[in-house]
Amino acid sequence: MTSTVPEITPEEQAQLDELYAAFDAASMTPLWTQIGGLMPTTPRPDAVPALWRWSTLLPLAERAGELVPVGRGGERRAIALTNPGLPGTPYATPTLWAAIQYLGPREEAPAHRHVQTAFRFVVDGEGVWTNVEGDPVAMRRGDLLLTPGMHFHEHHNTTDKPMAWIDGLDIPLVRYLDAGFFEFGPDELSTKETPRASRNERLWGHPGLTPVGAPAPKASPLMAYRWEHTDAALRAQLELEDEGHPGVVEPGHAVVRFTNPATAGDCLSTIRCEMHRLRAGTRTAAVRTAGSAVWQVFEGSGVVTVGPERYEVGKGDLFAVPSWAPLSFDSEAGLDAFRFSDDPVFEALRLGRTAREDITA
Amino acid sequence: MTSTVPEITPEEQAQLDELYAAFDAASMTPLWTQIGGLMPTTPRPDAVPALWRWSTLLPLAERAGELVPVGRGGERRAIALTNPGLPGTPYATPTLWAAIQYLGPREEAPAHRHVQTAFRFVVDGEGVWTNVEGDPVAMRRGDLLLTPGMHFHEHHNTTDKPMAWIDGLDIPLVRYLDAGFFEFGPDELSTKETPRASRNERLWGHPGLTPVGAPAPKASPLMAYRWEHTDAALRAQLELEDEGHPGVVEPGHAVVRFTNPATAGDCLSTIRCEMHRLRAGTRTAAVRTAGSAVWQVFEGSGVVTVGPERYEVGKGDLFAVPSWAPLSFDSEAGLDAFRFSDDPVFEALRLGRTAREDITA
Amino acid sequence: MTSTVPEITPEEQAQLDELYAAFDAASMTPLWTQIGGLMPTTPRPDAVPALWRWSTLLPLAERAGELVPVGRGGERRAIALTNPGLPGTPYATPTLWAAIQYLGPREEAPAHRHVQTAFRFVVDGEGVWTNVEGDPVAMRRGDLLLTPGMHFHEHHNTTDKPMAWIDGLDIPLVRYLDAGFFEFGPDELSTKETPRASRNERLWGHPGLTPVGAPAPKASPLMAYRWEHTDAALRAQLELEDEGHPGVVEPGHAVVRFTNPATAGDCLSTIRCEMHRLRAGTRTAAVRTAGSAVWQVFEGSGVVTVGPERYEVGKGDLFAVPSWAPLSFDSEAGLDAFRFSDDPVFEALRLGRTAREDITA
Amino acid sequence: MTSTVPEITPEEQAQLDELYAAFDAASMTPLWTQIGGLMPTTPRPDAVPALWRWSTLLPLAERAGELVPVGRGGERRAIALTNPGLPGTPYATPTLWAAIQYLGPREEAPAHRHVQTAFRFVVDGEGVWTNVEGDPVAMRRGDLLLTPGMHFHEHHNTTDKPMAWIDGLDIPLVRYLDAGFFEFGPDELSTKETPRASRNERLWGHPGLTPVGAPAPKASPLMAYRWEHTDAALRAQLELEDEGHPGVVEPGHAVVRFTNPATAGDCLSTIRCEMHRLRAGTRTAAVRTAGSAVWQVFEGSGVVTVGPERYEVGKGDLFAVPSWAPLSFDSEAGLDAFRFSDDPVFEALRLGRTAREDITA
């Protein structure tokens, strides 16, 4: 308040000190000493741009596989990415949890369910099945697998090789809101079947076709998005661009969003999932978005600029984008990257905002 | 009003006659003489159950192909199914237009657009392309092709064989509501390209994947539903039933609804489209639905009961189901049938109602 | 098809005649002979602009009161306005029923309910109560009273004076769609209470306040819109215009729409209700709307132009506006008019369209 | 993970320590050491039940009025309630800001706007006007006044008496999400008019009446809910209960929710506002709700139980209810209380949950 209280006498200061002490005693805090931090002119996140290299994550997950068992209590061998701007928390951004999960040969992770909504994305490997409400879902490279809130789920590795993947959840958001409920399921696996296609895919995985007799879904009834479809959809957008037709979001940049076929909305109620493909030689415009996101490079390489940071990234590398940080890509070789974000929260609460800066030569 | 006016003297009758004449002169009509017809206790449609055999329709369409050219003015060589209960109209039901359309070798039907929403369903043949807003869409056996309202469309046969299919539109509804607008397009075809997949399919025909950069759709952006997907979805439902899992609408009866992937609602704003499959040996429960429908047998055979009528039907045969008429099937051999109806109108206006009668042995 | 079949030989004509006879025998109708009537370039309604004068309607209703009892069977002493373009029907427009209803001193109209949605609007008088689902609702000059679909309702006149009002229903639409269900209620009145305010008004008639404990409404829970509020809302719009603030739809023209406070949508699912006020000396722009409407002058006078027709109208006079007919007003004295229309049907089915022509001097 | 790692050798512990150090160096955190705190079986809020007495708040606000000027920079003389479980923050609950604001005689608070959505509720006094987007809104006892997000607002006291009221905002939520944008407005008041009714009330404050010509609202267009309406709505519910009709949420407990008349949804996108009235002698059932709330007693007195706490409360007293804490009231004298909560956030994100415990004698 320096602008409006230019000069304060020692006596006035003493009175103010007394007042502030009285506030404190009464569990009160004045707005005028805090407004800049509380209500900045544009978002001023504590979270910072951050990079985690797959070449670091995977060996540590493997080492955890040797030292730490999976089982009831700890529940999952998942190691979360901690944003350096949010020390003391296991959060990648204020709202998003991102972790590498690791399951050794023939290992099992027992059933539980929770309000928190989850997905798994597989950058490499195969051999693990996740049973969601008793429906076995194979996990393979490039696939996105969902576990909507309050669906029982368990994982098991049916092979002699380990497998690692990333988990995304809204754990920080649910923790912040004090909205979480959690239940343990049976210790024994609900099924050891390993069908090629899960039941949910067989009912709901046909383009534009709704199964009329299927039970009414409370969340996305489609719980697996297979790489063959994602890849084909991205390829088509770039081919259409070549042919002079619309489809890409900007030159050389194709995007598909994973959606709930029963509502056409986001595949998860609090997390948006997308796959991006940059054609070789593409530079994207810098975009600011209110809300935070985490990306994982799936294939290819490039340079990503997040606010003041500049990362050379390749397969498996993850990075966090805080709210309103300008984000751009420059890829000589071409790049596929998976993105997840809290956009659905911002849209549901009518807080969404985006600004795009065109590239200047 | 006999119950409340048990005895009328000749003098009273003369006064009433005078009153009714005055009403007539003033463009007025009393409710009490009409209420039973106007507001029946359950729907009392003028439309009746009706059957049209493909073996009758197709030769007449072929004959029209010899005698009647296609071109500007008449616009389409389409011959509508007339419900015998709606004489003087070319309407299959009060709300639905169903027609067989026929295009000879190398023929073209010129571009136009209209508020009326349309689809084509192909019971047999191939070789015709429909260009919808300049996007060429192949038409092949088992496919459902959409033409949403106010989309320019034109057809051309690229082969030396004729092709016939059925058209469904909401012409009667739009005519009833006085809601129609119509425009001619160019006389020349917008394109003669015959790509294997239309652009709309390449953007939108991937399960659960939304193309983020595609233009915002005003109607269903997916304009072709291919038989391979429909068939696979129906087969999966019956297989899941065999395995003891939900999916069918009743024993032996699989149904998929064709939906708009951008909204998850019906593929057309006023017409619902579905494909039904009955396993061999299936008898369905009798169902009454407020609203009318038209069915076409795609494959197989069976006996269909519509109110008091009983039809033995096979490939290509069409039949109309008036509002609230009980409908059931009995199929020894198994049956695939395409259904279209005005259900979206009833749902949008909150007029939907269904009653199911369980089968008594 | 003259344009594409320039010359037909007698032999060709004979072949065509034979074909058309075969079509007829097979319950088929060719599109090419009908397309102009079926799919006009702009709506070509059968309904015509029409005027009914209150000075004609009221005496005939009074005469009916002398000659025709009210009671079970005929149900209501209502006399419908028949559009001269729709002869043989009791319809004001293709979708809307408008009638004058008349209840003599101490008379009762027994309970029934039906899918058809209804309202009453009172241009003059008072003394009748309508009990809707057992909730007594007073009817007074300027009030709009609703009877949503499948709500039991009955009327009774508690005074020694007769009372007349207009009823609006979607009878034609429901009849067209074959969507109607109707049930008789008890012959005895459910209640003879005559409270000043109905229970639905006491729960829901407070601006912006939702009663949390009220039963979940299936239709508008507010069933009476009182003149004092309507009048105040219209007056405020014109005063705001005087003060230079937005609010009117065009200069000198205030409009309020009657809405369901539980959804903010139209007060009835198939009928829009509005009150319009023209300041003295106002000429409105000519507006075409896809869909039909009926108006009743509540107070004041003016000249209304509906397509080619020009009516001098005053208190109680009703007129029908067919689809796409340009409508404009010119009022020296000022005018209040109640309007009801099928706009919600057009909006729900995505068929709405409006064109406004600015006034040329 | 004690259950699954029963015995660890010193060597194993050293290896684990090394692994955890490596995690730390790589900005990684294992789930298994944290899962209980991150994903509790039911919400385990840091926020605690808390009480602030009006008799404490008001004198401190008055003292601030003597010592601290209002003006650019500090913006408002608002003192926030700090939840003792959230030390170091000025937050009443994780999502809600609640403050007492104080404006001395003839004082002005300058214009600004922000993404954060705000309301004011007046427990006592009058004489201040808040100008929202240039529309002057009087503030009087019992009134709820809204300032939706990104609406410019400023306050001024037109009298020689001070006035205090409470402000509610979603500052903590917007700060948490990094979603905030803030702008200063002009230093001079936009208007000094003091009309009896604001323009938004004149357009939108009529029950069930939508002004067709009003600008399309982006947030609630009604920005003042007056005590006379709130009081009448609550009184009606209790009278209906006396007459044997539905309306109250439980015996003796009336509730109205303040809603947006253009959508029928909550009056603010992230905050629910309600007024509760307990009839004298009412004990309510204990209710747990996922999400947090703040209450202020408006009139009367009673005992409120929040989890383990029991408060005797009277006029002006405020208390916070953390997520899932059981809440019940026992009021001998009767009680009116204003409640605001983050329920809209929970509903939009599909996280809502409620449990009611019936009173046991």
CATH domain A50-224 topology: Jelly Rolls (2.60.120)
Tell me if the domain spanning A227-357 has CATH number 2.60.120.10: yes
Backbone angles phi, psi at D273, to 5 degrees: -125, 135
* CATH code, residues C50-207: 2.60.120.10
CB contact under 8 A, B212 and A262: no
Render pLDDT for A41-59 as a digit per residue (tens, 0 to 9). 999 999 999 999 999 999 9
Nearest CA in chain B to C30: B79
pLDDT of residue C321: 98
- Minimum distance, in Å, between the CA of residue A101 and any CA atom of chain B: 25
Q: What is the DSSP letter of A342?
A: S
Contact A115, A93 (CB under 8 A): no
Buried b (16+ CB within 10 A) or exposed e, D192-212: eeeeeebbbbbbbbbbbbbbb
* pLDDT per residue as tens digits for the range C303-330: 999 999 999 999 999 999 999 999 999 9
Tell whether the model's pLDDT for residue A297 goes beyond 50: yes
Residues of chain C with CATH 2.60.120.10: 50-207, 225-357
CB contact under 8 A, B176 and C83: no
Element (H, E) at D296: strand D293-300
Residue D321 in tokens: 């209810």
CATH code of the region B50-203: 2.60.120.10
Task: Measure the CA–CA gap between A23 and A31, rounded to whole angstroms.
Answer: 12
- Going by pLDDT thresholds of 50, 70 and 90, the confidence category of residue A361 is very low
Cα–Cα distance for residue pair C302/C315, rounded to 1 Å:
10
Closest partner residue to D267 (CB to CB) among C203, C208, C256 is: C208
Chain A nearest CA to B178, separation (Å): 31
Is pLDDT above 70 for D358?
no
Question: Residue A72's pLDDT is what?
Answer: 82
Per-residue pLDDT at A35 exceeds 90 = no
d(CA B107, CA B102): 10
Residue D144's pLDDT band, with cuts at 50, 70 and 90, is very high
Interchain pair D322, A178: CB under 8 A:
yes
Taking CB atoms and an 8 Å limit, are A274 and B212 in contact across chains? yes
**Token pair of C107, please?**
């008379």
Q: How far apart are CA B324 and CA C195, in angstroms?
A: 41
Taking only the tens place, the pLDDT of each residue in D210-269 is: 999 999 999 999 999 999 999 999 999 999 999 999 999 999 999 999 999 999 999 999
| Most C-contacting residue of D256, D273, D339, D347 (CB-CB within 10 A), to test interface | D256
Predicted pLDDT at B280? 98
DSSP summary character for residue C83: P
- Where does residue A87 rank: exposed (0-12), middle (13-18), buried (19+ CB within 10 A)? exposed
Within 8 A of C289 by CB-CB distance, chain B residues are none
Give which of B39, B42, B169 to mutate to test C binding, by max C Cβ within 10 Å.
B39
Output the CA torsion sign for B337, B343, B345, B347.
Answer: negative
Compute the nearest-CA separation of B73 from chain A (Å): 32
CB contact at 8 A, B202 and A239: yes
Report the percent of chain D where pLDDT is more than 70: 97
pLDDT confidence of residue A85? 97
What band does B361 get if pLDDT is binned at 50, 70 and 90?
very low
Buried b (16+ CB within 10 A) or exposed e, B17-37: eebbeebeebbbbbbbeebee
Q: How confident is the model at residue B117 (pLDDT cuts 50, 70, 90)?
A: very high
Do the chains B and A touch each other, judged by at least 3 C-beta pairs below 8 angstroms? yes
| Lowest-pLDDT choice from A285-289, D30-34, D55-59, D150-154 | D30-34
Distance CA C351, CA D11 (A): 76
How many residue contacts between A and B have a Cβ separation below 8 Å?
151
Interchain CB contacts (distance < 8 Å): A and D = 277
Q: What is the ipTM of this complex?
A: 0.95
CA distance D41 to A114: 8
Q: For A82-116, what is each residue's pLDDT tens digit?
A: 999 999 899 999 999 999 999 999 999 999 999 99
The alpha-carbon gap from A287 to the nearest alpha carbon of chain D, in Å, equals: 16
Q: Looking at the predicted structure, is the pLDDT value of residue D4 above 70?
A: no
The token pair at B274 is 């579905």
Cβ within 8 Å of residue C202, ≥6 positions away: D236, D239, D240, D247
Chain C residue numbers with beta carbons less than 8 Å from the beta carbon of B342 are 177
Mean pLDDT, residues B158-187: 97
Q: What is the topology classification, in CATH, of domain B225-357? A: Jelly Rolls (2.60.120)
Contacts of residue B118, Cβ cutoff 8 Å, sequence gap at least 6: B146, B147, B153, B167, B168, B169
End-to-end CA separation in angstroms for chain D: 43
All CATH 2.60.120.10 domain ranges in chain D, comma separated: 50-206, 225-351
**A: neighbours with 3+ CB pairs under 8 Å?**
B, D
Distance from CA of D28 to the nearest CA of A (A): 5
Residues A343-357, mean pLDDT to the nearest whole number: 96
- Confidence at residue C312, expressed as pLDDT on a 0 to 100 scale: 98
Q: Which residues pair with A169 in a beta bridge?
A: A97, A118
User: B250–A199: do the CB atoms touch at under 8 Å?
Assistant: no
User: For residues C319 and C306, is the Cβ–Cβ distance under 8 A?
Assistant: yes
**Which is the CATH superfamily of the domain at D50-206?**
Jelly Rolls (2.60.120.10)
pLDDT of the residue at C6? 57
* Partners of C102 in the β-ladder: C164
Spatial contact of B200 and B151, defined as CB atoms under 8 Å apart: no
- pLDDT at residue D192, as a whole number: 95
Chain C hits for B76, CB-CB cut-off 8 Å, are: 31-32, 35
Cβ atoms of A317 and A53 closer than 8 Å: yes
Please determine, for residue B4, whether its predicted confidence score (pLDDT) is greater than 80.
no
Closest residue to A233, CB basis, from B209, B233, B254: B209
Q: Do chains B and D touch (3 or more CB pairs under 8 A)?
A: no
What pLDDT does residue A6 have?
A: 57
Contact B261 A257 (CB under 8 A): no
The closest alpha carbon to C338, from C304, C308, C294, belongs to: C294
**Length, in residues, of chain C:** 361
| Sign of torsion over alpha carbons A237, A241, A246, A250 | positive
Q: Note whether C72 contacts B177, CB cutoff 8 Å.
A: no
Work out the percent of chain B whose per-residue pLDDT is above 70: 97
From the list C199, C230, C249, which residue is nearest D209 (CB)?
A: C230
Taking the C-alpha atoms of residue B11 and residue C95, their distance in angstroms, rounded to an integer, is 37
Region of residue A117 (left: phi > 0; alpha: psi -120 to 50; beta: else): beta
Exposed e or buried b for every residue in C213-242, given b needs 16+ CB within 10 A?
bbeebebbbbbbbbbebbbebbebbbebbe
The bridge status of strand A318-321 relative to strand A282-283 is unpaired
Residue carrying structure tokens 């009908």: C34
Residue C207: list chain D partners with CB under 8 A: 204-207, 222, 225, 229, 261
What integer is the mean pLDDT of B162-176?
Answer: 98
State whether the Cα torsion B37-B38-B43-B44 is positive or negative.
positive
Query: What whole-number distance in Å separates Cα of residue B57 and Cα of residue B81?
Result: 9
Contact between chains at C179 and B323 (C-beta distance less than 8 A)? yes
Tokens 């064709």 identify what position? B258
| DSSP code for B250 | B
Q: Which chains touch C (3 or more CB pairs under 8 A)?
A: B, D
pLDDT score of C273 = 98
- The pLDDT assigned to A181 comes to 97
Positions of CATH 2.60.120.10 in chain B? 50-203, 225-357
- Separation between Cα atoms, residue A344 and residue D288, nearest integer Å: 26
Nearest to C169 by CA among B323, B31, B36: B31
Three-state secondary-structure class, residue D335: strand
Give the distance from residue C211's alpha carbon to the nearest chain B alpha carbon, in angstroms.
24
Q: Could you tell me the CA-to-CA distances from B176 to A37, A194, A207, C172, C176 in Å, in that order?
A: 62, 55, 34, 10, 8
Question: How far, in Å, CA of A253 to CA of A237, rounded?
Answer: 9
| Phi and psi at residue A13, to the nearest 5° | -60, -40
Q: Which residues of C touch D261 (CB under 8 A)?
A: 207-208, 261, 264
Alpha carbons C252 and C2: distance in angstroms, whole number: 51
Least confident of B201-210, C34-43, C222-231, D155-164: C34-43
Distance between D26 CA and the closest CA of chain C, angstroms: 52
Crossing angle (nearest 10°) for helices C10-25 and B54-67: 160
Q: How confident is the model at residue A359 (pLDDT cuts 50, 70, 90)?
A: low
Number of separate helices (H) and strands (E) present in chain D = 7, 25
Q: How far apart are the first and last CA of chain C?
A: 43
Looking at the domain covering D225-351, what would its CATH class be? Answer: mainly beta
- For residue A268, the chain D residue with the least C-alpha distance is D349
What confidence category does residue A60 fall into, taking pLDDT thresholds of 50, 70 and 90? very high
User: Closest partner residue to D60 among A26, A79, A175, by Cβ?
Assistant: A26
Q: Do A and D touch, counting CB pairs below 8 Å (3 needed)?
A: yes
Q: Which residues of chain C have pLDDT under 70?
A: 1-6, 358-361
Cα–Cα dist A321/A313, whole Å: 14
Q: Which chains touch D (3 or more CB pairs under 8 A)?
A: A, C
Tens of pLDDT along A239-274? Answer: 999 999 999 999 999 999 999 999 999 999 999 999
From residue A51, how far is each of A119, C122, D82 by CA, in Å?
20, 71, 36
The verdict on a CB contact (< 8 Å) between D16 and A179 is no
Which position has the token pair 């903590």?
D172
Q: What are phi and psi of C236, to 5 degrees?
A: -60, -40
pLDDT number for residue C163: 97
What residues in C contact D249, CB-CB < 8 Å?
A: 212-213
C-beta separation of C290 from C136 below 8 A: no
Chain C interface test: which of B12, B15, B38 (most C C-beta within 10 Å): B38
Quick: pLDDT tens for B230-254. Answer: 999 999 999 999 999 999 999 999 9
Q: At what angle do helices D10-25 and A54-67 cross, to 10 degrees?
A: 160
Distance (Å) from the C-alpha of residue C354 to the closest C-alpha of chain D? Answer: 15
**A with C: touching (≥3 Cβ pairs within 8 Å):** no
Residue of A nearest to D29 (CA): A80
User: With b meaning 16 or more CB within 10 Å and e meaning fewer, what string describes D264-273?
Assistant: bbbbbbbbbb
pLDDT averaged over chain A?
A: 95
Residue from A48, B337, A39 nearest D184 by CA: A39
Rounded to whole angstroms, how far apart are CA atoms B132 and B121?
A: 15
Radius of gyration of chain C, Cα coordinates, nearest whole angstrom: 23
- Spatial distance between the Cα atoms of D1 and A108, rounded to a whole number of angstroms: 16
- Residue B267 DSSP class: S
